[in-house]
Structure 1
């Protein structure tokens, strides 16, 4: 019995953010990742885990998603360095 790739679960190839993803070699597929958002990367990760299961691609997608989440949760930098001088407390001395 022949099983088509879209019958195994996960997003179908038509739902992927990269046209022809299922035919791309790993390095070519990875070159698209920096331009994608979290939801698109998550779709690709689910597809890859379900259909292709290429470990280097799964690692790359996972790392990219982790970086995006960390950037989203990062706090703004504290004043200092090249920014404006920090405010001094009233009546404080140095």
Structure 2
């Protein structure tokens, strides 16, 4: 089966992390097609395992999730503002001056 006939566009170029989230949008029939293709081509253990687990879930009554299977998994937005405060900052650092005679690591 050519890649262009697969339920996920550009399947061979998708990173594993993206695949595991995108397969949740597929039904059993589409997932079986992908699993057969994966086993015949790259046969990546993590991908095959995720697909088998998802097929098992669908057989137990899980439903495909909503969303676009072609959409990329965007990272969550970062919280606004700095998380640094007096409570989270480290102790003050006061390095000795060059040539301090009490510091054996410094030249004299």
- TM-score, length-normalised on structure 2? 0.55
Number of residues paired by the alignment? Answer: 62
Cα distance in structure 2, aligned partners of 1:13 and 1:56:
20
Cα distance in structure 2, aligned partners of 1:39 and 1:15:
13
What's the C-alpha RMSD, in Å, of the aligned pairs?
1.2
Q: Which has the larger radius of gyration?
A: 2
Map 1:75-90; keep pairs closer than 5 Å: none
Determine which of 8, 26, 35 is the counterpart of 1:45. Answer: 35
Higher helix share: 1
2:21 matches 1:31:
yes
Task: Give 4+ residue runs of structure 1 displaced > 2 Å after superposition.
Answer: none
Cα distance in structure 2, aligned partners of 1:15 and 1:30:
19
Shift of 1:70: 1.5
Cα distance in structure 2, aligned partners of 1:38 and 1:13:
18
Shift of 1:30: 1.2
Cα distance in structure 1, aligned partners of 2:7 and 2:48:
16
